[in-house]
């Protein structure tokens, strides 16, 4: 067999490559593996500062009138005039005439009864005069006590009774004449007009419905658990309504703007809702349709407007107010100690709402409470606060400047 250098050349090249690769592998530097270091999580904290605060309770309700009534005709007749205020939504003052019924028949009745009173008075005077003459004649001619008929005592009594009846009939006719004018019993606003000119009404026919405008009331439901925060006016038998109950601030959205009204809780309703277990309190707003200097463009507190209410409660002493995000579960907060480690702390919660939590025991002045949410929080884990993180980031800059 004849040797060929061209056939062995590829094998020589391959062998040299393998040897070179082995030499490179054996000559590479050793790689040292180090565990990956992660910085402690960064959290937001707030310092504990006990303070005295006034508790508030939130509720919602609808404005309703303090007084409302249906005005009715007290005498029958045809309506001959109505006031310009007697329209749906019209305002009226106490004593204003809202509607008039044709007074002709009642004026005639007054005239007839005046004549009957005059006749009865004349008859009474005649009987009294004749009784005086009869008594004088009996004293001159008779003996003993005279018979009542002889002295005309029954006739005088009957004439006096007839005179009194005529006067009563005249007073009734005059009263009916006054009732041809339907007057407003209070200052208010017309809810609905029910009669107009030309309509015949009977006694008791409704002519309008209205409500008072001096005071607006708001019925506010409160859960039983929140009653402890308020000094509610409780009514006992024989006690008057308390006008100095807790203050209340009402807000409502009207025309894209939010407006405020001040009121006061005046009473607690006598029953507890058996389904919701809510206690209802009633607050009043004075002069709901009047203008205010601080809010001249504020709309009136109209009946039916929906209101948000905040009722002032008792003063809580030396409590801690924290954002709602600080509370974990029902009664736990995370405290960052002096070594920047997270500690789970159980506290006594006085009150919570969607924005904040009020803690009455379990925290000391100056302690730092964690506000940030952590996915896997462990008691004792290391954390960084925002202030510490900023200080760490500034240290290299100070060294470079030096």
What pLDDT sits at residue 377? Answer: 82
What pLDDT sits at residue 387? Answer: 59
What pLDDT sits at residue 389? Answer: 46
Q: pLDDT digit string (tens) for 30-87? A: 666 666 667 888 888 888 889 998 888 899 999 999 999 999 999 999 999 999 999 9
What pLDDT sits at residue 233? Answer: 67
What pLDDT sits at residue 86? Answer: 94
What pLDDT sits at residue 305? Answer: 93
In this prediction the pTM is 0.69
3-state helix/strand/coil string of the chain: CCCCHHHHHHHHHHHHHHHHHHHHHHHCCCCCCCCCCCCCCEECEEECCCEEEEEEEEEEEEEEECCEEEEECCCCEEEEEECCCCCCCCEECCCCEEEEECCHHHHHHHHHHHHHHHHHHHHHHHHHHHHHHHHHHHHHHCCCCCCCCCCCHHHHHHHHHHHHHHHHHHHHHHHHHHCCEEECCCCEEEEEECCCCCCEECCCCEEEEEEECCEEEEEEEEEHHHHHHCCCCCCCCCCCCCCCCCEEEEEEEECCEEEEEEEEEEEEEEEECCCCCEEEEEEEEECCCCCCCCCCCCCCCCCCCEEEEEEEEEEEEEEEEEEHHHCECCCEEEEECCCCEEEEEECEEEEECCCEEEEEECCCCCCEEECCCCCCCCCCCECEEHHHHHHHHHHHHHHHHC
What pLDDT sits at residue 163? Answer: 93
Ranges of residues in the chain with a pLDDT under 50 are 1, 389-402
What pLDDT sits at residue 203? Answer: 95
What pLDDT sits at residue 392? Answer: 46
């Amino acid at each position: 067999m004849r040797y060929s250098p061209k056939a062995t050349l590829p094998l020589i090249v391959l062998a040299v490559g393998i040897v070179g690769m082995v030499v490179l592998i054996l000559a590479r530097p050793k790689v040292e593996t180090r565990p990956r270091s992660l910085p402690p999580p960064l959290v937001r904290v707030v310092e504990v500062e006990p303070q005295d605060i006034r508790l508030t309770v939130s509720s919602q309700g609808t404005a309703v009138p303090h007084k409302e009534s249906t005005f009715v005709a007290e005498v029958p007749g045809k309506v001959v005039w109505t006031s310009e205020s007697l329209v749906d939504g019209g305002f009226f003052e106490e004593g204003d005439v809202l509607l008039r019924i044709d007074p002709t028949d009642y004026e005639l009745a007054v005239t007839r009864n005046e004549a009957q009173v005059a006749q009865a008075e004349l008859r009474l005077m005649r009987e009294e005069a004749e009784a005086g003459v009869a008594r004088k004649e009996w004293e001159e001619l008779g003996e003993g006590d005279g018979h009542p008929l002889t002295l005309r005592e029954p006739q005088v009594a009957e004439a006096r009774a007839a005179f009194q009846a005529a006067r009563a009939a005249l007073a009734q006719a005059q009263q009916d004449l006054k009732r041809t004018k339907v007057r407003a019993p209070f200052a208010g606003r017309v809810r609905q007009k029910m009669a107009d000119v030309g309509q015949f009404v009977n006694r008791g026919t409704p002519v309008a419905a209205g409500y008072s405008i001096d005071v607006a009331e708001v019925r506010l439901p409160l859960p039983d658990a929140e009653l402890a925060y308020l000094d509610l006016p409780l009514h006992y038998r024989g006690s008057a309504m308390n006008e100095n109950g807790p203050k209340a601030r009402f807000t409502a959205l009207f025309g894209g703007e939010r407006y405020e009204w001040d009121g006061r809780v005046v009473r607690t309703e006598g029953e507890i809702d058996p389904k919701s277990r809510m206690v209802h309190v009633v607050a009043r707003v004075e002069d709901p349709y009047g203008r205010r200097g601080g809010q001249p463009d504020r709309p009136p507190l109209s009946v039916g407007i929906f209101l948000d209410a905040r009722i002032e409660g008792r003063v809580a002493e030396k409590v801690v107010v924290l954002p709602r995000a600080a509370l974990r579960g029902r009664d736990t907060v995370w405290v960052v100690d002096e070594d920047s480690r997270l500690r789970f702390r159980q506290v006594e919660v006085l009150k919570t709402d969607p924005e904040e939590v009020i803690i009455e025991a379990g925290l000391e002045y100056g302690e730092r409470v964690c506000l940030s949410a952590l996915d896997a929080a462990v008691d004792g884990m290391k954390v960084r606060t925002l202030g510490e993180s900023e200080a760490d980031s500034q240290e290299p800059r100070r060294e470079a400047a030096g």
